[in-house]
Structure 1
């Protein structure tokens, strides 16, 4: 008598388990703009590449910093809207480590580059992360305000980081910024290993 009960309970448990799980969007109760800000603020895998880009731009000088501050939020909004229209892509989590590895490695190496290269990096980062962020709001009606709210925080973050790095005058502070870039690249390696697991 006990074996049929166990079989029924096990079957019910298997049938009740979800096929896949998805992350939920942050709901602050303050409106979609602040929901977008909170969603961005709780995504360290998105914040770290922006910090690495700010470090790289600040190490390269004022023109690079200004370029990244203008282009990154603009690309974020444009590709965020595209992501809202097209929806999420079936991409391996391992690809989320690429911005961390690339930008962290460039900041750690303190690579010299022309301003147009910094603009290209800002466009690529804004396209990748903005699309992912916007596609999370594919099925909701308050996506545009959330994307604009998150882009505001992207602007503040890249502006503060690049300005702080621009103010570094001593060699040891530049080395400290490069060390932060290497830590970002190391975080990318950890994320890559987790994604490939």
Structure 2
């Protein structure tokens, strides 16, 4: 039993990806084309398991770099923080906790919860994720400036670069993601086709 749990918690490394800063796209003269290129660069983070595991389309999160089903099996519950009596914070504390008996860690951050089902990204194209991010009816009522703030400053988003032992961090840094998001907005917030 311990081996099965270990296999689900300790993830294999992903290929390292750099996150290029906005200046890398300055040579693209057309604002719409530059905006799309900037969002495609943001997509390296948005489609990384650190984001996708907590942005499921269905009712259950995934975990690890392989995005395996959450163990133990769990559902989102009424408030996206687990079912009644077994909220996410029952296991996920305020910070990552290293395992004592074997490699790996239990992720943690305050707060710890799933993105609302309207913000599910797993299985969507980058263009579909972009359209969803821009739609206040599906993004938690956020305007573009609030999207920037979420990407650049939200602590749970920032956890993606400090995910604990056994998980590959998201590419780049939250600071670079914030800069890319601002540049994407400033060039018209265009979406990939």
Bigger Rg, which one: 1
**Greater share of residues in helix:** 1
Q: TM-score, normalised by structure 1?
A: 0.29
**Greater share of residues in strand:** 2
Q: TM-score, normalised by structure 2?
A: 0.29
